[in-house]
């Protein structure tokens, strides 16, 4: 499959033409030079030319050929015996030996929090299930984490690593969070304790309360993530199936060099995002399938004042050959993006296909969201060759009015491209929901075909907006 429209040979051909132009007669030289320079400038402006450089920096970690079987450390795969200590012992032994594989053999291994260490590949073999406890006390003591974009101390995620390097979760087995069977859903439901804790944490972030004083955990109701890597580098997740988180599923925070390959993520609980790269750079998500009750992939970088305080963007993220059956966005950016987001590339993905349909129709294949409270910026989201069917709302949805939250910061969404999308069945093809005070800048949609659209496009305030060779219900739409 062709990944970039510009090859090295074609670039050198144009560059050579430009150089050769200096040898021609003056009248011809000026014309040829201008044409060559214009062509080169056009090639340089293609954002997809940056992808090979990003991918060259993303290198999955390698591990010594040592194996540490959790059953050698006392684990019992009967689905009843709690194996938290056995997992910890095997991981500790592997790390102290200089790294290798911690093997989870076939069976059902119940456990509390698993804390990964450097140079450890947690390898869950086919036929093995890591079954996470439904007792919140098994995720104590509290750890430094980020909860919906605000730093705090809270329950450990089910799998957690802080400040580690060269980490992996691999194998054809399953991580089962039992999210719908534990207490987690009741925490969020009306009458549960999460809304009050959520409001208190956001107040702390807004007022700049020191992070060490933002302590939740026991007696509180902020649901833990399923898998969180915090300030880690050189991470691989491959082949694994991740089921039923308590909340967000895979959450790398302040990480670098991350690969997710051929991972299935399935969750039914509210806010069960598939993967949330937050303040993370150089990440590849490829061949993954997401069937969630929220965004499949949501790129983030912190919320409001606390995100601005940390001030680290998410950048250089590449998504390829994935399937999105999530309830909300396929590829989403925001809304917690106060540290900024730039250079997100997504291509060759399928939305709600017949061979992997959602329980409910997804809402937006492309969902880019901020408001005037967030601050930060979204600069450079590029999507091409998405195909899909039967969604509830809009195929391309950009909004600077997310959740109607008010503030006085600029709401910045700029440099967005959507190319070669083919979709059948939606409310509308394009919805650009902007503000007169904060228009979109540099939105370009081209060579797309939308059928079965119920309503016309909505085009909000924008500068440098172009729509070219876009067909909606058989009629070409051009802007301006």
CB distance 440 to 461 below 8 Å: yes
What is the torsional sign of CA 172, 175, 181, 184?
negative
Model confidence over 221-235: pLDDT tens digits? 999 999 999 999 999
Query: May I ask the CATH architecture of the domain 63-272?
Result: 3 Solenoid (2.160)
pLDDT tens-digit readout, 297-317:
999 999 999 999 999 999 999
- Residue 15 pLDDT exceeds 70: no
How are the residues of the chain apportioned to helix, strand and coil, as percentages rounded to the nearest 5?
20, 40, 40
For 26-113, list the strands marked E by DSSP: 67-69, 78-82, 100-104, 107-111
Encoding tokens for residue 100? 């290798």
User: pTM to 2 decimals?
Assistant: 0.91
Domain 273-480 in this protein, CATH class: mainly beta
Query: How far is it between the farthest Cα atoms of the chain?
Result: 85
CB-CB contact of 414 with 381 (8 Å):
no
Of 441 and 42, the one with more pLDDT: 441
Q: Where are the domains of the chain?
A: 1-46, 63-272, 273-480
CA 282 to the chain's CA centroid = 12
Quick one: DSSP state of residue 138?
Answer: G
Q: What is the mean pLDDT of residues 138-142?
A: 98
Cβ proximity of 380 and 418 under 8 Å: no
Cβ neighbors of 76 (< 8 A, separation 6 or more) are 83, 107, 109
**Chain position carrying tokens 């003056």:** 26
Tell me what the mean pLDDT of segment 6-10 comes to.
34
The overall average pLDDT reported for the chain is 92
Cα distance from N-terminal residue to C-terminal residue, the chain: 33
Q: What pLDDT was estimated at residue 154?
A: 98
Low-confidence winner among 9-13, 159-163, 240-244, 335-339 (lowest mean pLDDT): 9-13
């Amino acid at each position: 499959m062709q990944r970039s429209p510009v090859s090295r040979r074609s670039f050198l051909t144009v560059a050579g033409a430009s150089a050769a132009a200096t040898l021609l007669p003056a009248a011809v030289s000026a014309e040829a030079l201008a044409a060559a320079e214009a062509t080169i400038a056009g090639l340089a402006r293609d954002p997809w030319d940056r992808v090979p450089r990003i991918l060259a920096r993303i290198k999955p970690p390698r591990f010594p050929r040592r194996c540490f079987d959790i059953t050698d450390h006392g684990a019992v795969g009967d689905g009843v015996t709690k194996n938290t200590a056995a997992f910890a012992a095997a991981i500790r032994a592997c790390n102290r030996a200089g790294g290798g594989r911690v093997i989870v053999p076939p069976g059902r291994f119940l456990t509390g929090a698993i804390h990964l260490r450097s140079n450890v590949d947690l390898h869950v073999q086919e036929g093995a299930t890591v079954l996470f406890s439904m007792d919140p006390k098994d995720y104590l003591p509290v750890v430094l984490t980020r909860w919906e974009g605000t730093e705090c101390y809270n329950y450990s995620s089910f799998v957690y690593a802080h400040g580690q390097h060269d980490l992996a979760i691999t194998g054809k087995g399953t991580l089962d969070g039992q999210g719908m069977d534990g207490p987690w859903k009741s925490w969020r439901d009306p009458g549960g304790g999460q809304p009050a804790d959520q409001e208190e944490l956001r107040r702390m972030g807004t007022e700049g309360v020191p992070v060490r004083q933002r302590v939740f955990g026991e007696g509180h109701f902020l649901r833990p993530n399923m898998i969180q890597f915090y300030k880690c580098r050189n991470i691989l997740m491959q082949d694994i199936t991740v089921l039923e988180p308590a909340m967000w599923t895979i959450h790398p925070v302040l990480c670098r060099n991350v690969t997710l390959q051929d991972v299935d993520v399935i969750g039914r609980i509210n806010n069960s995002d598939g993967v949330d790269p937050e303040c993370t750079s150089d990440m590849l998500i490829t061949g993954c399938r997401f069937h969630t009750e929220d965004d499949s992939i949501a790129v983030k970088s912190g919320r409001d004042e606390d995100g601005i305080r940390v001030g680290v963007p998410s950048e250089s993220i590449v998504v390829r050959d994935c399937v999105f059956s999530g309830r909300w966005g396929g590829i989403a950016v925001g809304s917690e993006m106060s540290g900024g987001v730039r250079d997100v590339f997504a291509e060759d993905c399928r939305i709600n296909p017949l061979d992997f349909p959602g329980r409910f129709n997804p809402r937006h294949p492309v969902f880019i969201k901020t408001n005037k409270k967030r601050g930060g910026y979204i600069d450079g989201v590029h999507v091409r060759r998405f195909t899909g069917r039967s969604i509830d709302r809009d195929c391309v949805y950009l909004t600077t009015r997310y959740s109607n939250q008010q503030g006085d910061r600029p709401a910045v969404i700029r440099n967005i491209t959507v190319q070669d999308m083919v979709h059948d069945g939606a409310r509308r093809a394009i919805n650009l929901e902007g503000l007169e005070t904060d228009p979109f800048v540099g939105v370009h949609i081209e060579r797309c075909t939308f059928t079965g659209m119920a309503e016309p496009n909505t085009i909000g305030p924008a500068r440098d907006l172009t729509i070219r060779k876009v067909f909606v219900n058989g009629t070409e739409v051009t802007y301006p």
